[in-house]
């Protein structure tokens, strides 16, 4: 890819984050081919100038770089390795999976790509819908240095903090670190606000004080503010967070790590899914504490 401005790009997965990410690539002038399981979700991107393909393989056949941003590891496996998957159509391409998935699958995809003369990166992101919309995602990358260098101009269209963490799978491992920290932090935010509410405090006033101290941070200031306002709309779906925490817990168990806060967070969020809250944002964990106050 010598002329990065004219790189032919494929994008698969135009959901709550993928739509914005693909939009930044298109706005930068790249020819863009897209596929999504539900075509109606691609309408905005198609109206902006992207070209529809009927299969992931068809996207790959047109593209020098293919980016996938889907839901679950099983979706990644199908989109990459299925009969009409990316690897069925890719030729000498750079393939980037930005889904939060398993490190083991990332390593497997990199090996499968290499057998087809392609390069692969695992590049999960953090920042949610807002980060995707504002092109300020944190992007954690695993894979070879030369593949990272080739992908960087495109990744910079979507993110503001892009770091190569190591070889294949390292990006996914780093994303697990991210999700583990978020899980414990949002539990602390919810418990602190539940305590303040039970004590009869004015929660916006509480937030002014503790948000400026050692407890300050995104989860408290942004998600805490949403909790106080009763805004549980998703920037990141609970059902996807439960998936991520399950991957992290399985990896921790494989490495013989005891992470009790991670286990508790997954239990609490699974309870919210069972109560029908799977499509709310992660800040809706506060509902667990409200129900018990």
Question: DSSP letters of 251-274?
Answer: HHHHTT---HHHHHHHHHHHHHHH
Is residue 281 over pLDDT 60? yes
Put simply, whether the predicted model's pTM sits higher than 0.85 gets the answer yes
Is residue 111 over pLDDT 90? yes
- Binned at pLDDT 50, 70 and 90, residue 11 comes out as very high
pLDDT in tens, 237-278: 999 999 999 999 999 999 999 999 999 999 999 999 999 999
- Residues 115 and 87: their CA atoms lie apart, in Å, by 10
- Binned at pLDDT 50, 70 and 90, residue 1 comes out as very low
Catalytically active residues, by annotation? 175
Q: Are 179 and 219 in contact (CB under 8 A)?
A: no
Please report, for the chain, the start and end positions of each structural domain, with discontinuous segments joined by +: 4-166, 173-290
Question: Token digits for 70?
Answer: 């889907």
- Residues 275 and 176: their CA atoms lie apart, in Å, by 25
Question: What is the fold, at CATH topology level, of the domain defined by 4-166?
Answer: Rossmann fold (3.40.50)
State residue 293's pLDDT score.
65
Flag the least confident range among 1-15, 91-105, 277-291: 1-15
- Binned at pLDDT 50, 70 and 90, residue 131 comes out as very high
Query: Alpha carbon of 142 to those of 98, 149, 179, 258: distances in Å?
Result: 11, 12, 17, 25
Over residues 124-147, the mean pLDDT reads: 96
| Mean pLDDT for all residues in the chain | 96
- Residues 25 and 158: their CA atoms lie apart, in Å, by 8
- Binned at pLDDT 50, 70 and 90, residue 217 comes out as very high
Over residues 45-61, the mean pLDDT reads: 98
Question: Which CATH number fits the domain 173-290, given the four candidates 1.10.1040.10, 3.40.50.2300, 1.20.1070.10, 3.40.50.300?
Answer: 1.10.1040.10
- Residues 269 and 275: their CA atoms lie apart, in Å, by 10
pLDDT in tens, 17-30: 999 999 999 999 99
Is residue 2 over pLDDT 50? no
């Amino acid at each position: 890819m010598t002329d990065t401005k004219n790189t032919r790009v494929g994008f698969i997965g135009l959901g709550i984050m993928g739509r914005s990410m693909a939009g930044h690539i298109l706005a930068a002038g790249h020819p863009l081919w897209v596929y999504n399981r539900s075509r109606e979700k691609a309408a905005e991107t198609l109206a902006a100038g992207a070209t529809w393909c009927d299969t992931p393989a068809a996207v790959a056949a047109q593209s020098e770089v293919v980016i996938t941003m889907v839901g679950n590891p099983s979706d990644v496996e199908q989109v990459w390795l299925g009969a009409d998957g990316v690897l069925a159509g890719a030729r000498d391409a750079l393939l980037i999976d930005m889904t939060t998935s398993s490190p083991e699958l990332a390593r497997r995809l990199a090996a499968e790509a290499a057998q087809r003369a392609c390069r692969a990166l695992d590049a999960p992101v953090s920042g949610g819908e807002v980060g995707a919309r504002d092109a300020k995602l944190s992007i954690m990358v695993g894979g070879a240095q030369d593949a990272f260098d080739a992908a960087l101009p495109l990744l910079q269209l979507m993110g503001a903090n892009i770091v190569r963490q190591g070889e294949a799978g390292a990006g996914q491992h780093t994303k697990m670190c991210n999700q583990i920290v978020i899980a414990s932090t949002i539990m602390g935010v919810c418990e602190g606000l539940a305590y303040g509410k039970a004590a009869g405090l004015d929660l916006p006033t509480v937030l002014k004080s503790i948000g400026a101290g050692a407890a300050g941070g995104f989860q408290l200031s942004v998600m805490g503010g949403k909790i106080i306002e009763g805004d549980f709309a998703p920037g990141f779906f609970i059902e996807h967070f439960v998936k991520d925490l399950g991957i992290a817990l399985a990896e921790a168990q494989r490495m013989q790590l005891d992470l009790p806060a991670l286990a508790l967070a997954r239990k609490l969020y699974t309870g919210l899914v069972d109560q029908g809250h799977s499509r709310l944002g992660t800040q809706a964990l506060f509902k667990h504490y409200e129900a018990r106050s």
